[in-house]
Amino acid sequence: MAFGLLSRLFARRKLPAELRYEDARRVLESHHLAVKRELAGRDDAPPEALYYLACDDDLEVRSLVAGNPAAPMQANELLRTDVDGEVREELARKIGRLMPDLPSGELTALQRRAVELLERLAEDELSRVRAIVAREVAHCPTIPHSLALRLARDVEIAVCGPMLQYSPLLSDEDLIEIVAKTRVQGAVEAIAKRDGLGGDLSAAVAATLDVSAVAQLLANEKAEIREETLNKVIAQAAGIEAWHRPLVMRADLSVRAMRRIATFVSRSLIDELGRRHNLDDDTALWLKTRAQASIEADDTGDEKPLTVEAMSEAFREGRLGDEMVTGAATLVQRQPVVTALSLLADVPAHLVETIIDSRSGRGISALCWKAGLSMRTALAVQTHIAHVPTGNLVLPREGIDYPLKENEIRWHLQYFGIDAGSARPGL
């Protein structure tokens, strides 16, 4: 009779709607793969059967057990060290989804084991396993603070990003420390997107001069940006077009800030400034005049395009300087920038190319120093032409000055085989 039941069971490869312990036992004894897989995914399967299946040779069987909420904790703990990452991914997804339901007070022994299991998954060698954990618990207020910090400090943006943007457990002090130390591309940008950034944290983000992060900060209507911080951003913004629109759209601009912004944004954004903000008559007239001046400047057509030839002509006429180089850099016009640096620094173009290709923030800053250009121009070249990683950018001291000592600058020039000579007048 039992043989007849199993034959019918395996013929249709479907377990009965009401699963009995005897049905599960027969499946385990039969070693029939299709029905084992079905049993592994059943939430009414006996815990003993699921624990047994957690050791099965078949990857799909183990994955189904890993994702099964009915699996006993012993099976979950066994699967945490499974050799296949897919199994651990399913387990991380399941355990992570249990966390929002944890009470804020004392945990039961079983709940503590679940938290410990999640902490071990957060240390998994595969970043995609850790990323699943981070996504599942990013909004959760009941996981341990130490776990939130571990994930927020991860070296992969797929892991740390969700925590940095959403975790309610990370304090401003935690995040300011991460801003100062992280080398993960996109980490500061994730922090800049958080709801309700405080003034100190906003200042820390702005101080990085990370183009994408600061753009996100400016676009974040819920971020508190103090006037001092905003003024420092505006001082750097002329050559960084990505900041122009979010600056104009800030609701907390002072009249002084609006006037400064209007000196470098497009005429359409000057018009937007006038429409968006409640202006006094004098300021409204000033912006209108500024916009008209911008239109007239465009209509004259006097300004030459920023080509290699234009750079050479400007150099011969003594007009080549920060404004033209920054403008070309912001428009990602590599060859005109190379030409300008070569002419101004009296360095062969191939050496300029070598320094840019090295993506060395210090080397590029040293070259701009020799060319007699400002540190703001050096930052534009680093950011838009060389694409220097955020962690390696050399940033202006106090917004304008070279932060490198002269002997250090000379060392970097000599490293690339360039005679340091002396800076052009005016630095």
258 & 349 share domain: no
Which H or E run includes 151?
A: helix 145-152
**Tokens linked to 335:** 């060859």
Best CA proximity match to 164, nearest among 143, 142, 200, 195: 195
**CB-CB contact of 129 with 92 (8 Å):** yes
Measured CA to CA in angstroms, residue 88 lies from 91, 112, 126, 355 at distances of 5, 19, 9, 44
**CB-CB contact of 241 with 269 (8 Å):** no
Q: How many domains does the chain have?
A: 3
Does 207 reside within a domain?
yes
Best CA proximity match to 114, nearest among 85, 138, 147: 147
Distance of CA 54 to the CA centre of its chain: 37
**pLDDT(291) > 90:** no
Which residues constitute the domain of residue 363? 308-415
Boundary-marking domain end, from 242, 273, 303:
303
Residue with tokens 């022994």: 109
Does 325 reside within a domain?
yes
Best CA proximity match to 242, nearest among 272, 265, 273: 265
Does 355 reside within a domain?
yes
342 & 410 share domain: yes
**CB-CB contact of 117 with 95 (8 Å):** yes
For the segment 152-162, the average pLDDT, to the nearest whole number, is 97
User: For 212-224, how does the pLDDT look when each residue is reduced to its tens digit (9 = 90+)?
Assistant: 899 999 999 999 9
275 & 219 share domain: no
**CB-CB contact of 329 with 373 (8 Å):** no
Does the predicted model carry a pTM greater than 0.85? Answer: no
Does 18 reside within a domain?
no
Boundary-marking domain end, from 303, 319, 335:
303
Kindly indicate the confidence band of residue 427, based on its pLDDT and cuts at 50, 70 and 90: very low
User: Distance (Å, rounded) from C-alpha 348 to C-alpha 359?
Assistant: 18
Mean model confidence pLDDT for the chain: 87
Does 247 reside within a domain?
yes
295 & 313 share domain: no
Measured CA to CA in angstroms, residue 62 lies from 5, 52, 118, 121, 416 at distances of 26, 10, 18, 17, 56
317 & 410 share domain: yes
266 & 330 share domain: no
225 & 281 share domain: no
Boundary-marking domain end, from 282, 303, 324:
303
User: For 99-128, how does the pLDDT look when each residue is reduced to its tens digit (9 = 90+)?
Assistant: 877 776 677 888 889 899 999 999 999 999
Kindly indicate the confidence band of residue 98, based on its pLDDT and cuts at 50, 70 and 90: confident
293 & 364 share domain: no
411 & 312 share domain: yes
